Amino acid sequence: MNRFNRREAIALTSAFAGGLLAAPAIASGSAKVVVVGGGFGGVAAARELKAIDQAIEVTLVVEGESYSTCPFSNLVIAGERPMSAITFGYESLAAQGVIIRQGLAERIDGERRVVVLEGGDELPFDRAIVSPGIALKFDAVPGYDEAAAEIMPHAWKAGPQTELLRDKLAAMREGGTFLMAVPDNPYRCPPGPYERASLVAHYLSRNNPTAKIIIVDGKDSFSKQALFEQAWAERYPGMIRHVPFAESGGVLGVDPTTLEIETPFETFVGDVVNFIPPQRAAAVAIASGLTGSGEWCQIDQATFESEIVPGVHVLGDAAIVGDMPKSGFSASVQGNVCAHVVAALLRSEAPPQGVLLNTCYSLIAPDYGISVAGVYRVNGEGLLKSVEGSGGNSPLEVADGFRQAEADYAVSWYETLTGRLFG
Amino acid sequence: MVRMLAFLGLALMAGPARAESSPEALTYLSCRACHADATAATAIPPIEGRPAAELVEAMTRMGQSAGDTTIMHRFVKALSPAEIEALATYVSGLEGAAQ
Ligand SMILES: Cc1cc2nc3c(=O)[nH]c(=O)nc-3n(C[C@H](O)[C@H](O)[C@H](O)COP(=O)(O)OP(=O)(O)OC[C@H]3O[C@@H](n4cnc5c(N)ncnc54)[C@H](O)[C@@H]3O)c2cc1C
């Protein structure tokens, strides 16, 4: 009888209820959850809620008919994958019983417990899960507004911007300069800009080998820096110049008519400019008061519940989720765990807890991958902290085949995760 | 007691519910971002339904020395032996679980 532990007890109840009574073990029949945002966090949460209990009514508010992933969008820019390979529809979520509602959520009204859609329709909820991602700050850098982004694309939300940057790269003159600007932390996907520089270098080394890449950075050091620099020296010697903040003094402004980026010490000119502006939580988070007086959502790191608006859980890039980085992997894991937290709270049970992982793979080239991994636990003070002595980067010294293996694993991760979310 | 055992038998046959909320099931939500179902042909090996002893052995070995492991040791180092055991038991029970 000592094998009859808590887990088996739970399995037993659901086997009993599911098999013999043909009703869910959980009495949450009329519970309504509205999930805002059809990206990594929102899709994971909506789908997991349905897996936990079909009886929960789950509505997912999505902006468009389909979703293009930022992960692997750098491969699209480098001409290695078509846009269609990173674009997914919501059909399979609908087949799982998730109600898909297309349109923009204007704000989440925590007091009345409704999500107000653009146009005025209201979706009532018992609990809401919000994963709307980031907004690009078009008022932070003089000269860089939405119109400028058509000339100096950010390509930091996957979609038309990705294709625009890809096309500009392909059309760049021989020996031209691909100029990038990268913001200071925090921003979506810490290693993403450097993966982009790598894959653009991969493209240029084959198609425009005398071209150059300049990265004007808003900080002095970056994620996986030693690994990136080692790989650049090996694969793309002399092609990439990284300008740390200390060397340029930071971006003062841009001029889309001359394709210039101005800094106190130097004015940089590109033939193609990829300007990644500073970021904050998406507009709906701010309109709903979820960010307080700051730019990111403050949450209880064990339950994802807003510290400002009770009943509303926020995760993914829009929130400060302890030590976890702003990645698609993190957002999806948070969405999954948050679904369990919300399901428990709907049953008036204590929220469950587990260990959360993250891995960010970066491709230097299609056959050369590196990674950073992390393990996170809620500590005694309720903070989601990186576990000491675990996680970390790929090693600098490796045996033959190691980088190829990590590239293969990156592809494997992408296929599995997008399959779990959208397949 | 007889009814209890009958239920227990039913539960063990059915395996754990994938979407249960035990700590190991929640932890597995991170593992399954990379490890696909057994039917998928991916570079990262599927782990669902593999014998618990094999999973415990593999995780323990990777936690002690990286060898040619690319990433798993970086995760395993954060888990206690009891957590490794519970996770392995849960994952090994997933094959054929109704999902
Ligand atoms: C170039 C690049 C490469 C990257 N590579 C990786 C990688 O390899 N691995 C990795 O793990 N992560 C990677 N990332 C990071 C990853 O894309 C993000 O961390 C992830 O998308 C965050 O998920 P989210 O759910 O918070 O937001 P999103 O995925 O942005 O989803 C939010 C969704 O909500 C929608 N939305 C916003 N407001 C509203 C509203 N008011 N109403 C309705 N819908 C709304 C948006 O349209 C969007 O579809 C990369 C990012 C970039 C830019």
Read off the pLDDT of residues A187-210 as tens digits, 9 standing for 90 and up: 999 999 999 999 999 999 999 999
Domain co-membership, A12 together with A122: yes
Asked, for residue A292, whether it belongs to a domain, the answer is yes
- For residue A404, give both structure tokens: 């190829």
Q: A288 and A399, same structural domain?
A: yes
- Ligand 1 geometric centre to CA of A318 (Å): 9
Residues paired with A370 in a beta bridge: A362
Answer yes or no: do A237 and A295 share one domain: no
Amino acid at A97: G
Same domain, yes or no: A287 and A353 = yes
Query: Which of B10, B24, B26 to probe the A interface (max A CBs under 10 A)?
Result: B26
Same domain, A19 and A105: yes
**Domains of chain B, first to last:** 2-92 (1.10.760.10)
Q: Are residues A262 and A329 in the same domain?
A: no
Nearest residue (by CA) to ligand 1, atom 29, is A39
A419 CB neighbours in chain B (<8 A) are 36, 40
Percent composition of chain A: helix, strand, coil (DSSP 3-state, to 5)? 35, 25, 40
* Helices marked H in A129-288: 146-149, 160-171, 192-207, 225-235, 245-248, 283-287
Residue A234, C-beta contacts closer than 8 angstroms, at least 6 positions apart: none
pLDDT in tens, B4-30: 444 444 444 556 888 999 999 999 999
Q: Are A83 and A105 contained in the same domain? A: yes
A161 Cα to the center of ligand 1, angstroms: 14
A245 CB near a chain B CB, below 8 Å?
no
Instruction: For residue A207, tell me if it sits in a domain.
Output: yes
Query: Would you state the pLDDT for residue B14?
Result: 57
- For residues A110 and A127, state if they share a domain: yes
Burial A272-307 (b: 16+ CB within 10 A, else e): bbbbbbbbbbbebbbebbbbeeebbbbbbbbbbbbe
Structural domain tally of chain A? 2
Residues A65 and A96 in one domain: yes
Dump the DSSP string for A18-53. IIII-S-SS--TT-EEEEE--SHHHHHHHHHHHHH-
Cα separation, A414 vs A48, whole angstroms: 18
CB B70 within 8 A of CB A402: yes
Q: Which residue has the tokens 């996907």?
A: A189
pLDDT at B66: 78
By most ligand atoms within 8 Å of CB, the mutation choice from A34, A40, A333 for ligand 1 is: A40
Minimal CA separation from B8 to chain A, in Å:
6
Q: Do A406 and B70 touch (CB under 8 A)?
A: yes
Asked if A409 has any chain B CB less than 8 Å from its own CB, the reply is yes
CATH of the domain at A255: 3.50.50.60
What is the extent of the structural domain holding A296?
A: 6-133+282-422
Q: Which of A234, A253, A275 is the last residue of a domain?
A: A275
User: If DSSP codes are grouped into helix, strand and coil, which group holds residue A111?
Assistant: coil
- Distance, CA of A272 to CA of A250 (rounded, Å): 19
| For ligand 1, atom 25: residue with the closest CA | A41
At B37, is the pLDDT very low, low, confident or very high (cuts 50, 70, 90)?
confident
The answer as to whether A142 is a domain residue is: no
Please report the ipTM that was assigned to this predicted complex: 0.90
- Pairs of residues, one from chain A and one from chain B, whose beta carbons lie less than 8 Å apart: 160
Nearest-CB residue to B77 (from A15, A353, A389): A389
Ligand 1 nearest atom to the CA of residue A69, by list position: 17
**A192 and A75 housed in the same domain:** no
Domain boundary residue among A275, A296, A325?
Answer: A275
Stretches where chain A sits below pLDDT 50 are 1-28
In A, which residues are within 8 Å of B7 by CB distance?
Answer: 12, 15-16
Its sign, for the CA torsion A94, A97, A98, A103, is positive
Query: How many CA atoms lie less than 13 Å away from A282 in the CB half-sphere?
Result: 21
Query: Based on C-alpha coordinates, what's the Rg of chain B?
Result: 15
Amino acid letter, A200? V
Nearest CA distance, A30 vs chain B (angstrom): 20
The domain boundary residue, chosen from A257, A275, A293: A275
Asked whether residue A291 falls in the same domain as residue A410, the answer is yes
Q: With contacts defined as CB-CB under 8 Å, which chain A residues touch B24?
A: 7, 354
In this structure, are A212 and A153 located in the same domain? yes
**Which class for A103: exposed (0-12), middle (13-18), buried (19 or more C-beta within 10 A)?**
middle
Is A314 inside any structural domain? yes
Picking from A347, A355, A367, A370 by the largest number of B CB atoms within 10 A of its own CB, the best residue to mutate is: A355
Examine residue A143 and state whether it is found in any structural domain, yes or no.
Answer: no
Residue A139 lies in a domain: no
A140 belongs to a structural domain: no
Question: Which residues of B fall within a CB distance of 8 Å from A342?
Answer: none
State the pLDDT at residue A30: 82
